[in-house]
């Protein structure tokens, strides 16, 4: 199995951004936090951008409540470590405030349609994660490595498409239709367009409701001058992801569905020429080597069980060992199938931990396991 050295990646001074991506529930956030701790203790000045981490993990990093500003993580030596949790709504507000004068920004921020858009528009969280990455990267003097935990998406490709999708929406035909009368009201063609627009809005009013349409119109009138900024930022964010100083880590679990999602990620990253470092496999079953096969161990357990109840503990341990060997064999088969489909993708694995990660020592143990990955 082709593998890669996580420590070489983390200490490479030319690498400034590492994006951990993958389906939800595979340990992506834990991986991002663990490599953040390890990179800091290897001497880097690190900022970890997390997306909705579990409470215990947040507490392990000193993040007791949602905060859109990087905060230092205590108890890390060598370099420095800061961490933050994305506040999607606040990040969107910051984008508006940076592209509009105070009066126009307030009109946008108080608009009901904007409030709905910034809170629930499909892809907004993915876009804002990348937007926040751009903001952090612009403060390059403060950190020399930024680690991003991308949002868990039902569609594995959302985080790549979201910047362009949101930019297209804000600069799209529907928005341009809504702004056309205001832009052309001073000439004959504009007045004809306005007449047509009136018919159009009457139809929309029946579909959406007059108040919703009014909110949209007010939003469009206020935000019209900021379209270029959204488009430029979306394009700049996408290009930033393709730079030589960025690396992607696809995170997965050794399960059929998770590896299928990982395949989609890998193929898309390769198609878009994104710099892929490799695949991280979490929760891989690791069993101490023995000369006995799974069948021999199961047979020994059955023999002991037949001799009487005094051997109950030994029987339970043998059966547990046989079960773990069976899981390991299944994981190995799935990993080999993935490797066969993607022979050029390096893979490192982290063994299944005995308990949840809830402190810095736990994150250190994950980082150590990544550095001492299991070979199959």
Q: Which of 66, 86, 63, 89 is nearest to 74 (CA)?
A: 63
Structure tokens at 349: 């694995």
3-class state of residue 68 by DSSP: coil
| pLDDT of res. 43 | 96
Region label for 86, one of left (φ > 0), alpha (ψ between -120 and 50) or beta (otherwise): beta
287 near 328, Cβ under 8 Å?
yes
Q: Distance (Å, rounded) from C-alpha 62 to C-alpha 71?
A: 8
Q: Which residues pair with 349 in a beta bridge?
A: 281
| pLDDT of res. 197 | 39
Region label for 317, one of left (φ > 0), alpha (ψ between -120 and 50) or beta (otherwise): alpha
Region label for 256, one of left (φ > 0), alpha (ψ between -120 and 50) or beta (otherwise): alpha
155 phi/psi in degrees, rounded to 5: -100, 120
Kindly provide the b/e burial profile for residues 58-95, where b requires at least 16 CB atoms within 10 angstroms of the residue's own CB.
bebbbbeeeebebbebeebeebbbbbbbbbbbebbbbb
| pLDDT of res. 100 | 78
| pLDDT of res. 35 | 96
Give the chain's radius of gyration (CA, Å).
26
What does each of the 376 residues of the chain score in pLDDT, given as a tens digit?
678 899 999 999 999 999 998 888 888 889 999 999 999 999 999 999 887 666 667 777 777 765 788 889 988 999 999 998 888 788 888 878 877 788 888 888 888 877 877 776 656 777 777 778 888 888 767 899 999 988 776 555 666 776 666 656 655 555 555 555 444 444 443 343 343 434 434 444 444 445 555 666 666 666 655 555 666 777 787 888 899 999 999 999 899 988 998 998 899 899 889 999 999 998 887 766 666 666 666 666 676 666 765 677 776 666 666 666 777 778 788 888 998 999 989 999 888 877 777 789 989 999 999 998 655 5
| pLDDT of res. 211 | 58
């Amino acid at each position: 199995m082709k593998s890669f050295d996580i420590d070489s990646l983390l200490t490479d001074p030319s690498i400034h951004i590492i994006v951990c991506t993958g389906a939800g529930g595979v340990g992506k956030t834990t991986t991002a936090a663990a490599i953040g701790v390890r990179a800091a203790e290897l001497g880097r000045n690190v900022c970890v951008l997390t997306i909705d981490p579990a409470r215990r993990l947040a507490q392990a990093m000193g993040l007791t409540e949602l905060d859109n500003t990087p905060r230092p993580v205590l108890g890390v030596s060598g370099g420095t470590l800061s961490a933050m949790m994305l506040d999607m709504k606040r990040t969107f507000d910051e984008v508006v405030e940076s592209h509009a004068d105070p009066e126009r920004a307030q009109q946008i921020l108080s608009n009901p349609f904007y409030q709905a858009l910034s809170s629930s528009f499909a892809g907004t969280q993915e876009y804002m994660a990348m937007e926040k990455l751009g903001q952090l990267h612009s403060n390059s003097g403060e950190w020399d490595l930024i680690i991003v935990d991308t949002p868990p998406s039902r569609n594995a490709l959302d985080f790549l498409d979201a910047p362009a999708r949101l930019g297209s929406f804000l600069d799209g035909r529907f928005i341009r239709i809504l702004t056309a009368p205001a832009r052309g009201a001073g000439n004959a063609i504009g007045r004809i367009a306005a007449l047509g627009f009136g018919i159009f809005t009457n139809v929309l009013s029946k579909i959406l409701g007059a108040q919703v349409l009014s909110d949209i119109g007010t939003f469009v009138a206020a935000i019209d001058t900021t379209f270029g900024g959204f488009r430029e930022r979306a394009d700049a964010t996408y290009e930033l992801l393709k730079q030589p100083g960025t690396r992607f880590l696809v995170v997965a679990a050794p399960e059929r569905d998770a590896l299928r999602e990982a395949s989609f990620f890998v193929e898309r990253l390769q198609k878009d020429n994104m710099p892929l470092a490799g695949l991280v496999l979490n929760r891989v079953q690791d069993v101490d080597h023995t000369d006995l096969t799974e069948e021999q161990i199961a047979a020994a357990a059955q023999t002991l069980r037949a001799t009487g109840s005094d051997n109950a503990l030994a029987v339970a341990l043998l059966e547990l060992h046989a079960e773990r060997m069976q899981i390991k064999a299944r994981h190995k088969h799935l990993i080999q199938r993935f490797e066969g489909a993607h022979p050029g993708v390096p893979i490192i694995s982290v063994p299944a931990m005995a308990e949840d990660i809830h402190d810095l020592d736990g994150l250190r143990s994950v980082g150590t396991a990544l550095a001492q990955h299991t070979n199959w």
